[in-house]
Amino acid sequence: MVNVGILGATGMVGQRFIQLLENHPKFEIKALTASQRSAGKKYQDAVTWHLDTPIPESVEDIVVVDTDPGLVKDVEIVFSALPASNAAVVEPKFAEAGMKVASNASAMRMEPDVPLVIPEVNPEHLDLIEIQQKRRGWDGFIVTNPNCSTIALVLTLKPIYDQYDVNRVYVSTMQAVSGAGYNGVPSMAILDNMVPFIGEEEEKMEEETLYLLGDFDGETVEPASFGLSTSCHRVPVVDGHTEAVFMEMDEDFELEDIKKSMQEFQAIPQKLDLFSAPKNPIIVREEDNRPQPRMDRMREKGMAVTVGRLRQDASFPRSLKYVLLGHNTIRGAAGASILNAELIAEIM
């Protein structure tokens, strides 16, 4: 077994890590960190647990420590669920101390020597790890996964982008409240309501999407160059981000071909049969009223993205429209980091 730690273990994403790593065949939780507010307490006393499965017995009595590499002993991998401002300072220290950091935070994502990876989309970007270690003189390293709404979008774009000339993509999101963390959106702001703005989300989605689908020459990533415009909104859903996608192609296409390439899409995590890999990363539904967060977010244990309403627009023949749904704290966060770590453990 590989000993792992979780940084920011008491938050929304930290709790998902703990839930998903219970009974993991390769990774065993040995250390939990959080802020000074939680440090020194047993995990069960430090956390306000929000998930619908109990706190695993194996972590209940682990004493939470401050997020300092000197206090995290005998651990090979740390999964980071820290706020970005904190991650920017702390994650490099963990990598410098020799640990492999699989991070959810946005702080290091766009650093040119830090891989931003979705295993089904751009596993080759992991080659940046060697460059990062050499350049920074680290024994450990940092690998990141994208923002939650970006992961779901890019998984569905990948099989289309591989086959067709995509000209422009417009995306409108309806994002769950858990995406902002437990204290992120007050109930008085969101119940019976919708908030048409999420700070920095549109910028992240646009930059990360083009980067993930970019060309990698072994040293640097040249972002993809199609047009991409997003509009991000917070809705009163607990978990599961929905996105309405409008795409304009530079060539004719058959709707059935697109559907088939989404349904049949598989990549290296499926070929290697990684523990957290969904068998089908994209599930296509035919019903007019799907996907829906409550019904579809847990497909393939929350690791698949569900697509519905796949159609062409009668007035724009080279346009494609669909609605997608992805679980933001599983496929969009903790599950994404775990899949990155599983891939690294298998191929490096």
Ligand X SMILES: NC(=O)c1ccc[n+]([C@@H]2O[C@H](COP(=O)([O-])OP(=O)(O)OC[C@H]3O[C@@H](n4cnc5c(N)ncnc54)[C@H](OP(=O)(O)O)[C@@H]3O)[C@@H](O)[C@H]2O)c1
Sequence-separated contacts (24+) of 189-193 with Cβ below 8 Å: 190/234, 190/235, 190/236, 191/236, 192/236, 193/236
Minimum distance from residue 50 beta carbon to ligand X (Å): 9
Quickly tell me which residue has 């994403």 as its tokens: 13
Q: Report the site for ligand X in 257-276 (rule: CB under 6 A).
A: none
Determine the Cα–Cα distance for residues 329 and 77; give it in Å rounded to an integer. Answer: 20
Check binding of 328 to ligand X (CB under 6 A): yes
Q: Which of 24, 50, 125, 148 is catalytic?
A: 148
- For ligand X, the closer of residues 122 and 178 by Cβ is 178
Binding segment for ligand X (CB under 6 A), chosen from 131-139, 217-225, 279-287, 326-334, is 326-334
Q: Is residue 230 packed enough to be buried (19+ CB in 10 Å), middle (13-18) or exposed (0-12)?
A: buried
CA-closest candidate to residue 339, choices 82, 66, 7, 16: 16
Question: Looking at 19, 104, 122, 276, which residue binds ligand X (CB under 6 A)?
Answer: 104
Minimal CB distance residue for ligand X: 11
Check binding of 69 to ligand X (CB under 6 A): no
Minimum distance from residue 233 beta carbon to ligand X (Å): 15
Our answer to whether residue 148 is catalytic in this structure is: yes
Binding segment for ligand X (CB under 6 A), chosen from 98-106, 133-141, 275-283, 304-312, is 98-106
Q: Packing angle between helix 335-347 and helix 12-21, nearest 10 degrees? A: 50
Check binding of 44 to ligand X (CB under 6 A): no
Angle ∠(321,327,328) on CA atoms, nearest 5: 100
Check binding of 304 to ligand X (CB under 6 A): no
- For ligand X, the closer of residues 131 and 195 by Cβ is 195
Relative to beta strand 241-249, strand 316-326 is antiparallel
CA distances from residue 209 to 171, 242, 288 in whole angstroms, order as listed: 12, 16, 27
Q: Return the CA Rg of the chain.
A: 20
Q: Which of 24, 125, 232, 241 is catalytic?
A: 241
Q: Report the site for ligand X in 70-89 (rule: CB under 6 A).
A: 81-84, 86
Determine the Cα–Cα distance for residues 109 and 111; give it in Å rounded to an integer. Answer: 6
Check binding of 10 to ligand X (CB under 6 A): yes
- The interface mask with ligand X, positions 131-160, x = CB under 6 A, is ----------------xx------------
Minimum distance from residue 36 beta carbon to ligand X (Å): 7
Determine the Cα–Cα distance for residues 132 and 115; give it in Å rounded to an integer. Answer: 9
Minimum distance from residue 272 beta carbon to ligand X (Å): 24
Which residues, at least 6 apart from 100, have a Cβ–Cβ distance to it below 8 Å? Answer: 76, 77, 78, 140, 141, 143, 341, 344
Minimum distance from residue 137 beta carbon to ligand X (Å): 25
Check binding of 38 to ligand X (CB under 6 A): yes
Minimum distance from residue 255 beta carbon to ligand X (Å): 31
Distance spanning both ends of the chain, measured CA to CA: 16
- The interface mask with ligand X, positions 181-210, x = CB under 6 A, is xxx---------------------------
Which string of DSSP letters, residue by residue, matches 268-290? HHHHTT-TT--SSSEEE--STT-
Question: Looking at 306, 329, 337, 340, which residue binds ligand X (CB under 6 A)?
Answer: 329
Which of the residues are catalytic? 148, 241
Residues interacting with ligand X, by CB under 6 A?
8-14, 34-35, 37-38, 67, 81-84, 86, 104-106, 147-148, 178-179, 181-183, 328-329, 332-333
